[in-house]
Chain A
Amino acid sequence: KQEVTQIPAALSVPEGENLVLNCSFTDSAIYNLQWFRQDPGKGLTSLLLIQSSQREQTSGRLNASLDKSSGRSTLYIAASQPGDSATYLCAASSGNQFYFGTGTSLTVIP
């Protein structure tokens, strides 16, 4: 069974710093890897989707990479802003469902 882990569980950085969030999965047979953002009391907003044949995807200040062989994905956030404060979750698509990590709670300090 697929297991997804996100480290660290919480991260606090000063505004303007570049940062990396990590996502690890145990079974490399995935269809795709998706990153989400969740604000307190809100639903999950899709940030980036990486297909299994792709190595990375970019959207604005966000860049997500995927290394299936090592079972890792990273989400890079450039020039962080206080508005980036949220919980970030990754989900690996394998078998017939999506497996979620436990999330990284990010706080960007002004």
Chain B
Amino acid sequence: DTAVSQTPKYLVTQMGNDKSIKCEQNLGHDTMYWYKQDSKKFLKIMFSYNNKELIINETVPNRFSPKSPDKAHLNLHINSLELGDSAVYFCASSQRQGIGELFFGEGSRLTVL
């Protein structure tokens, strides 16, 4: 039973389109995160939610909008996609904000053409 699952695994889309990535965790954790991994494999935090409350909102274009309907789900919606948005987006969760073991999803590879 997958602990952190995200869908879809692959997205290929045209510039200017809107896309969403969904994430769910069944670990009962309070905190969920979105990370972006670029071509150099560096992981950059984008957002974190703790019990549905936005805690971390790094310098991310406002075309990116996270939404947490409940503490087990954290979705990422991206408007007006640009070439530079191409990356792998990872969802993760931990028991508490910034503390404990961090669990990752398999990643969603976004390619913008």
Q: Give B contacts to A, CB under 8 Å.
A: 33, 40-43, 45, 48, 55-56, 90, 92, 94, 97-107, 109
Contact = CB atoms under 8 A, between A and B. Distances in A.
Contacts of A38: 41
Interface of A: 31-32, 34, 36, 38, 41-46, 49, 87, 89, 91, 93-98, 100, 102-103
Nearest to A97: B98
A102 B39 CA distance: 12
Contacts of A100: 42-43
Contact of B98 (A31, A41, A49, A103): A31
Contacts of B55: 96
B104 A97 contact: no
Given A96-B48, A97-B48, 18 more contacts: A32-B100, A34-B101, A42-B106, A45-B104, A46-B101, A46-B102, A46-B104, A49-B101, A91-B102, A93-B100, A93-B102, A98-B45, A98-B94, A98-B102, A100-B43, A102-B41, A102-B42, A103-B41
A43 B43 CA distance: 11
A62 to B, nearest CB: 15
Contacts of A45: 104
Contacts of A43: 90, 104-107
Contacts of A95: 98
Contacts of B33: 97-98
27 contacts: A31-B98, A31-B100, A32-B101, A41-B109, A42-B106, A43-B104, A43-B105, A43-B106, A43-B107, A44-B92, A44-B104, A45-B104, A46-B102, A49-B101, A87-B41, A89-B43, A91-B102, A93-B98, A93-B100, A96-B56, A97-B33, A97-B98, A98-B33, A98-B45, A98-B94, A98-B102, A103-B42
Contacts of A87: 41
B106 A34 contact: no
Nearest to B6: A43
